[in-house]
């Protein structure tokens, strides 16, 4: 699946990245990356600095399984300007996540993030980690009905179903997340840290929970929904939005409001 153009002019390109697409090429990466796609569809001669050329103007990244908005500077000037806005925390980012458990009120996580010393492919909240701040707000508390749970886990025996009940597996919350910094895996790590890991997050939800989640959620439920920034040519404030993709909407259709009978 290719990225979708959400906004474009002579200076800025905003793309909707599909889940499953890696942003940056690597030696181990065989599938087409977002930067590969940009090289095929856009002229790299607009860039003179090596960094802008290497990155095709990509200012920030999204994890492979995260869908949603990415901003690209189409010229050296736009690339540098947008980089500066991210560094100075002027860019407003909003993500939608479905997490385990009921989150009763808005919160703020301030916890430095660094590589997990026990697993270098993961990150964790560490005293010596880089500063990271995430704000979150519950949009809707959701749950499985008993019938739906029975349908998804139809092969489970009574003991296994009782265990699902014991761990309150049927409770979930749709969150709006605002990362004020841009650390790798930041939202994922911070939500796990406060006891509400993202549904179907293979790295952070835990192996057993991941296997349960994958029965009804095809991929990690995290979507970069909104971006606000100052246009690099003229400084006008802009906001762009990417609606929740169909695969994630279908996941939400399997859940009901906590108020439903």
The four Cα atoms 152, 155, 159, 164 give a dihedral, to 10 degrees, of: -20
DSSP letters along 188-208, please?
HHHHHHTT-PBTT-TTTS-HH
Apex 249 CA angle, 223 and 167, nearest 5: 85
User: How far is it, in rounded angstroms, from Cα 63 to Cα 19?
Assistant: 9
Strands 67-73 and 222-230: parallel
* CB distance 164 to 153 below 8 Å: yes
Cβ neighbors of 207 (< 8 A, separation 6 or more) are none
Q: Taking Cα atoms as reference points, which of 24, 19, 64 lies closest to residue 242?
A: 19
3 state DSSP class of 20: coil
Is 63 a catalytic site residue? yes
Q: Which of 63, 76, 213, 233 is catalytic?
A: 63
User: How far is it, in rounded angstroms, from Cα 139 to Cα 177?
Assistant: 10
Q: Which residues are catalytic?
A: 63
């Amino acid at each position: 699946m290719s990225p979708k153009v959400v906004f474009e002019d002579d200076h800025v390109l905003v793309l909707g990245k599909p889940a499953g697409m890696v942003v940056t090429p690597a030696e181990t990466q065989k599938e087409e990356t977002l930067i590969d796609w940009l090289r095929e569809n856009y002229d790299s001669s607009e860039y003179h600095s090596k960094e802008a050329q290497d990155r095709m103007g990509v200012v920030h990244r999204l994890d492979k399984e995260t869908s949603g908005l990415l901003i690209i500077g189409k010229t050296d000037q736009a690339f540098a300007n947008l980089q500066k806005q991210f560094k100075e925390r002027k860019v407003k980012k909003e993500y939608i996540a479905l997490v385990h458990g009921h989150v009763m009120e808005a919160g703020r996580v301030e916890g430095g993030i660094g590589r997990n010393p026990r697993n270098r492919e993961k990150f964790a909240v560490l005293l010596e980690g880089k500063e990271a701040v995430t704000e979150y707000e519950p949009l809707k508390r959701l749950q499985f009905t008993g019938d739906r749970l029975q349908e998804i886990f139809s092969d489970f025996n009574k003991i296994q179903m009782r265990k699902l009940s014991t761990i309150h597996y049927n409770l979930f919350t749709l969150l709006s997340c605002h990362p004020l910094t841009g650390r790798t895996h930041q939202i994922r790590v911070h939500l796990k840290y406060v006891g509400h890991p993202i549904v179907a997050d293979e790295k952070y939800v835990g192996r057993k929970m991941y296997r349960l989640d994958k029965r009804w959620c095809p991929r990690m439920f995290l979507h970069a929904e909104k971006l606000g920034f100052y246009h690099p040519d003229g400084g006008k404030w802009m906001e762009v939005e990417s609606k929740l993709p169909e695969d994630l909407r279908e996941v939400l259709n399997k859940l009901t409001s906590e108020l439903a009978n």
